[in-house]
Amino acid sequence: MAVIRDMIPPFELYQPAGVDDAVRLMDEHGSDGWVLAGGLDTFDWFKDRIKRPAAVIDLGGVDEIRGITGAADGGLDIGAMTSLTDVAEHADVQGRYPLLADAAGLVATPQIRNQGTLGGNIVQDTRCWYYRSGWPCYRAGGNICYAATRRSMNREHCIVGADRCVAVNPSDTAPALVALDAEMVVVSTSGERTYPAADFFIGPDIDIERMTVLEPGDLLTRVVLPAPWEGARWYFEKIRDRKSWDFSLVSVASTLSVQGGVIQDARIVVNSIAPYPVRMGAVEAAIRGREPSDETGHMAGEIAVEDARALRHNDYKIALTRNLVRRSIRDAA
C-alpha cells in the first residue's frame, strides 16, 4: 500500500461544551478518540495520516478549563486550555512565576503561542523525526529504535533516560512546571486524580508508547501551582537552532530558595535530554547549603552529566547540559 502524506483523512468531529461531556466522549471512543486542543501537535499527525482517529474531540468549546485563577493556598490554577500567550502575559504569572512566563513565552512563535495551549504544550508528543515520519519504531508499536543506531541522525535525541527509545520530551513549559512543583489535575469518567508534575511524565522504561501518565480517556484539565518560595530565584533558558518555530536542543528550569546567601532548597530540571523532563535530584542535594556561585554551578554541572551517555551525534548535549545547569545556579535571579 502506498503511503501519502499531507492530507488529513476524514474523521467525526465532536465539540463538547464541558469537561464532563468531553471525558464521556473520550471514554466512549477510547483509543479511537483523539483530543484536540490547539492542534499544533495534532494536525501534524493528521496531515501525515499516521494517527487516524475515528473521532476527534475538540476542546475549543470547553471554557471551564480556560483561564487563570488564584488557588486556595496562595498558588495559581491554570486551565489546560489557556493559551500560551495568556500564560506568558498574565500579570500573576509574570509577577510570581516568571519562570513559567518565560518558558511559555519562548514556545515556538507568537502565532503558535496564540493558538497553542498550556495543556497541549505539556502533553505533546515527542518530535523524534523517525517516529514522526511514521516509521514503525518502538514508540509506534514496532521493534526498533531507528534513532539509536550508529548511523542514525540523532543530534536532537537523548543523553539520559533512554530505554530502547531515545526520543526526548520537547515541551518548554514542562520543565518549568516541574521546577515549580506544579500539580497536574487529570479527569476521566472515573473521577479526578492529581499528579505532581515530576510524576506526570513517564519514560519508555514504563511505557514506550506514551510520554505522560495519561491513558485513553484521561484529560489534563488544570495545572495548579503552589505558592512560590519566598524570595525564590529562578532561571530558564532554551537553546535552539533558531528563534522562529523551533524546539529546544536543551532547556533548563531552576528555582532556588536562597536565604542568607545560601541555597536552602532547589529544584533543577533539564528537558530535551531525556524522554521526560529530568529533575536533577543529585544536583539539588549537592548544592543545598552552598552559595549560588559560579563554583557551585560548576560543581552542579559536573554532577548533572555524570550519568549522561551520548549517541553518535549528540555529545554536545553533555557539554550543553553541564553549562546550562551551571548557569541555572550562577545566573538565577
Partner 1 sequence: MAENVIGTDISPPDLRAKITGRARYAEDFRAEGMVFAKLLLSPMPHARVRSVDTSRAEAMEGVLGILRASELPLQESGIGEAALTDEPKYEGEPILAVAAVDETTAAAAVEAIRVDFEQLPFVLDPLESLREGGPDARLDGNVGGRPEPLTIKWPDSVFDEAGPDRLPMGEPAAEWTIGDVDAAFAEAEVIVEETIVHQSVTHHPMEPRSCMAYWQNGKLFLHGSTQSTERTRGAVAGMAGVEPDDVVFIGEYCGGGFGSKIAGVPSMAIPAVMSRKIGRPVMLRITRYEENYIGRARAGFQGWAKMGFRADGRMTALDLYLVQDGGPYGRASDFSTAATVATATYQPENMRFRGVPVYTNTPPRSAQRAPGGAQIVAMLEPLVDKGARELGVDRLEIRKINAPGHDGWLGQNQAPFTSAYVREALDLGGELFNWDEKRQLSGQRNGTKVTGVGIGLSPFTAGSAGRDGLLVIRPDGKLHVHQGIGNLGTHSISDTARPAADVLDLSWDDVVIVWGDTSKHLPFSTVQAGSQTTHAHTRANHAAATAMVGLLQELAAGELGGSPADYRVADGRVFRAGNRAAGLSFAQAAERAMARGGKFSGEVVPEDLNDATKAAVAGLAGQGLIAAARDNYPREGAVFTWVATFAQVELDIETGEVEIVDLASSTDCGTVMHPRSLAGQTNGGVFQGIGMAKSQRWVFDPKWGIPFTKRFYTARPPGILDVPRSPRFAAVNLPDPHTPVGAKGIGEPPVGAGEAAYVCAVADAMGGMCLCRTPLTSDMILAELEGRPRPYGLLDTHV
Partner 2 sequence: MEFLRRALNPWGEDVPIGVSWDLIWAAVIIGAVFVVVHALMVPKKVGTGEVDPDEAEGLPEKLQRHKPGARGFHWSMSATMFALLITAFFPVIGIQFPWVTIHWIAGVLLILTVIYHIYHVFAKQDFWTMWIDRRDIEEGKQGLKAALGKADAERPRAGKYPVDQKMFHHVAMVATLGAVVTGVLMMFRIDNFLWAERTYMFSDATWGWIYVIHGVCGIGLIFLVIAHVYFAIRPEKRWMTWSMINGWIDRDRYLENHDPARWTVPEAGTQAAEAEGD
> Which residues touch 125 (CB under 8 Å, ≥6 apart)?
41, 45, 131, 211
Min dist CB 112 to partner 1, Å, is: 10
Residue 143 site contact among partner 1, partner 2, none (CB < 5 to 8 Å, cut-off depends on kind): partner 2
- Distance (Å) of CA 100 to CA 71, 130, 250: 16, 30, 16
Question: Which pairing describes strands 219-225 and 278-279: parallel, antiparallel, or unpaired?
Answer: unpaired
DSSP 34-73: EEESS-TTHHHHHHTTSS--SEEEEGGG-GGGSSEEE-TT
Q: Does 141 bind partner 2 (CB under 8 A)?
A: yes
- The interface region with partner 1, picked from 12-20, 116-124, 268-276, 322-330 by CB under 8 A, is 322-330
Closer Cβ to partner 2, 4 or 72, answer by number: 4
Which of the residues 143 through 182 are near partner 1 (CB under 8 A)? 146, 149, 151-153, 155
Torsion angle of alpha carbons 87, 92, 96, 102, nearest 10°? 30
Q: How far apart are CA 231 and CA 219, in angstroms?
A: 34
Residue 140 site contact among partner 1, partner 2, none (CB < 5 to 8 Å, cut-off depends on kind): partner 2
Residue 5 site contact among partner 2, partner 1, none (CB < 5 to 8 Å, cut-off depends on kind): partner 1
Radius of gyration of the chain (CA): 20
Which of the residues 156 through 185 are near partner 2 (CB under 8 A)? 163-164
- The interface region with partner 1, picked from 69-77, 118-126, 210-218, 306-314 by CB under 8 A, is 306-314
Q: How far apart are CA 138 and CA 209, in angstroms?
A: 7
b/e for 31-49, b at 16 or more Cβ within 10 A? eebbbbbbbbbbeebbebe
Closer Cβ to partner 2, 49 or 298, answer by number: 49
Query: Which member of 15, 133, 189, 293 binds partner 2 (CB under 8 A)?
Result: 133
Q: Does 245 bind partner 1 (CB under 8 A)?
A: yes
- The interface region with partner 2, picked from 37-45, 69-77, 87-95, 199-207 by CB under 8 A, is 199-207
DSSP 259-272: ETTEEEEEEEEEES
Contacts to partner 1 by CB under 8 A: 1-7, 9-10, 44, 47-49, 109, 129-130, 133, 146, 149, 151-153, 155, 237, 239, 241-247, 249, 310, 313-320, 323-324, 326-327
Query: Where along the sequence are the contacts to partner 2 (CB under 8 A)?
Result: 1-3, 133-136, 140-146, 148-151, 163-164, 203, 205-207
